[in-house]
Structures are given as structure tokens and as C-alpha cells.
Amino acid sequence: MPELPEVEIIRQSLNKKIKQKKVLKVIIRNRNLRFKIPLNFESHLKEKKITKVERFSKYLILNISDNSFCMIHLGMSGTIHILDNKKLLKLTNTSFYNSPFLPKKHNHVEIIFNNFKIIYNDPRRFGFIQIIKNKEELKERFRHLGPEPFDVKFDIDYVYNYFKKRKKNIKNFLIDQNFVSGIGNIYASEILFLSKINPSTNANLLNKLECQKIIFYAKKVLLKAIEKGGSSIQNFTNTSGVEGNFQKNFNVYQREGLACKTIGCTDLITKNIISKRSTFFCNTCQK
């Protein structure tokens, strides 16, 4: 599943291409995503401008000229591709996640502009596209989610007080969107390594210094991942021909059996399964 940095790369790609552009036509080939695309979706977007593209957590938010919003969540396998009528793009994917080329199957939604179109592709159909009527409804839609790591609300008081009465392990908290929005499995392992905290440690056992480290490294890791273009694992490039290469900076993720990168540490990276998710760490550095 794309995490916050990958979705931010998509936002940047889309905003550059569709900001202040008018939708000419919408084609729905399959409405049966995680939530069924409403019957009025095509008419709602047609002849309206996309004023800008924003993001919250792992959600893309297309601002529409009538002050409504089109919200897109990519689920497990969703990608958004740009096809330009003026030039043949070898690479159509707006991010570095999954295929860099437009697949032949599972192209469920086309949003057509003048001289180009964007296509939503999703083989597993766990993603969804929804119309949100206004800002109040959008705010309510995200009410159950925790703040992003970049939010001023994600501070020591919030984190320490949230943890102190909860016995769940810290790894599960970092991927719990009710606690903090946007962190997924890859970046949780990287954050905990830099914080020198074992992923199995119960959150209520963490002191304020350890909580402060989590706050600091959550911001640092995600910002670096955005700067590096996200984590593609398979070294795909986006429509600009830029490679997402944060995976080259992994300290622990997918490095099971390899030497720890900490200077002076002779241990190997270990993988455990926590709540059915692969978790990578160093037993020596993260006690």
C-alpha cells in the first residue's frame, strides 16, 4: 500500500498537471471499488475545474470549482496514470508504486481534460473515489483519524498522554491511523530503528525522551522519503523520469540477515511478524 510519501508524490504530479484545468468528460468502466462510485459522479465533475490537488494522510483531495471535493484513496494496488495526447509518455504512473506503465486491464475511471486524461487503475479494487459535498463534510470524514506527523498537534503532550495508559506495542501504534495518519509498515520500522526502540515494546513503557525521538524521526524519515521520491522497491520511475529511491536509504526494512548500519554494531537485522506485518529491526540497537 502506498504510504504518505508516495501519495504526496502523486499529489505533486497531479497538481502540476491538472490544477485549474476543466474536466471535459468522465468515463466509468467499473463502479465496484471498495465503495461503489455514485451514479452522479460523471455529471458532478463534468465542466468543472480542478482548482488544486491536496492531500491528507494517504488520501488525495481534488478541490473542485463548486467548492466540493473528489477524494481518492488508492487502497492496496491503486495507481493514477497520465496519458497525454500531444506526446507519447513512456512512463505514465504519477508515482513510483506498482507498474510504471498503464496496464491493459483494471482501468476503472478516466477523467478527461483538454489534450490529456488521468486514469485510475486498481487490480484489487480496495481503493475508492468519493464526492464530498463541502468542507464541513470533508472535516467530518477525517474526524476519526489522528494528526499527521507534520501537524503541530503531533507533539510530546499528545504522544506521551496517548501512550501512557495503553499496553499495545509501539509498532502497532505507528501504523494505527487513529493515532497518527500516514505512517505505514515501511516507515514505522525505519522510525523505530532511528529512535532505538524495539518494535515489540509496549507504548505505555516509553518515557518522554523516547516519545520525543519518535516525533522527531517520524518527521525526518517522511520528509526524506518525499525528498527522495518515495520508496519504489523495484526502482520504477514516474512520469517525469525521476526514480523513487528512498529504498536505497533503508536502515532495516527488507534487510533481514544483513549487517546493521550502525557504526560499531556487529549484529544482523532481524525480521519478526507483528500483527501479520513484517517488522525489521536490530536486536542490539533497539533494546
Residue spans of the domains in the chain: they are 4-141, 156-282
Q: Which residue in 2, 5, 149, 199 is the catalytic one?
A: 2
Percent of the chain residues past pLDDT 90, beyond the cut: 76
199 is an active site residue: no
- Bigger pLDDT: 236 or 74? 74
Mean pLDDT across 159-164: 96
Give the phi and the psi of residue 234 in degrees, each rounded to 5: -100, 15
State yes or no: is 5 an active-site residue: no
Buried b (16+ CB within 10 A) or exposed e, 118-146: bbbbbbebebbbbbbeeeeebeebbeebb
**Which has more confidence, 245 or 22?**
22
> HSE-up of 90 (CA within 13 Å, CB side)?
5
> Using CA of residue 101, residue 105, residue 107, residue 112, what is the dihedral sign?
positive
Choice among 65-74, 83-92, 268-277 with the minimum mean pLDDT: 83-92
Q: Taking the CB of residue 116, how many other CB atoms lie within 10 A of it?
A: 17
- Break the chain down into helix, strand, coil percent, rounded to 5: 25, 25, 50
For 187, residues 6+ apart whose C-beta sits below 8 A from its C-beta are: 3, 4, 5, 174, 218, 221, 222, 225
**Average pLDDT over all residues of the chain:** 91
Q: Of 22, 48, 261, 277, which one is the catalytic site residue?
A: 277
Q: Is the pLDDT of residue 43 over 60?
A: yes
Q: Which residue has the higher pLDDT, 34 or 167?
A: 34
Decide: helix, strand or coil at residue 138: helix
- Rounded to an integer, the average pLDDT of 168-173 is 96
Q: Pick the catalytic residue: 11, 58, 171, 255?
A: 58
Examine the pLDDT at 236 and tell me if it is beyond 50. no
pLDDT value at position 89?
A: 67
pLDDT band for position 101 (cuts 50, 70, 90): confident
- The residues, ordered by sequence, that sit 6+ positions from 51 with a Cβ below 8 Å of its Cβ are 19, 20, 63, 64, 65
Assign domain 4-141 to a CATH class: alpha beta
How far apart CA 88 and CA 117 sit, in angstroms, is 13
2 is annotated as an active-site residue: yes
pLDDT band at 242 (very low <50, low <70, confident <90, very high): low
**Cell numbers of 18, please?**
491538472
| Marked catalytic residue, from 3, 6, 8, 190 | 3
**124 among known catalytic residues:** no
Strand order of the sheet with strand 116-121? 25-28, 107-113, 116-121, 79-84
Residue 219 and residue 151 in contact, taking contact as beta carbons nearer than 8 Å:
no
Q: Is the pLDDT of residue 234 over 50?
A: no
Task: Summarize the confidence of residues 257-284 as an average pLDDT.
Answer: 95
Find the mean pLDDT for residues 224-247.
56
User: Which pLDDT score, from 0 to 100, does residue 245 have?
Assistant: 55
d(CA 70, CA 192): 34
Give the mean pLDDT of 76-99: 81
The domain made up of 156-282 has a fold known as Helicase, Ruva Protein; domain 3 (1.10.8)
Arithmetic mean of pLDDT, 258-287: 95
Evaluate whether 4-141 and 156-282 have a shared fold.
no
Q: Where are the alpha helices (DSSP H) in the chain?
A: 4-18, 41-45, 135-141, 156-163, 170-174, 185-195, 208-227
Integer Cα distance of 168 and 126 in angstroms: 27
Lowest mean pLDDT among 10-14, 170-174, 238-242, 260-264: 238-242
Hey, what amino acid is at 218?
A
pLDDT at residue 115, as a whole number: 92
> Which secondary-structure segment (H or E) carries 70?
strand 69-73
For 57, 132, 144, 223, the CA distances from 121, given in Å and listed in that order, are 20, 21, 27, 27
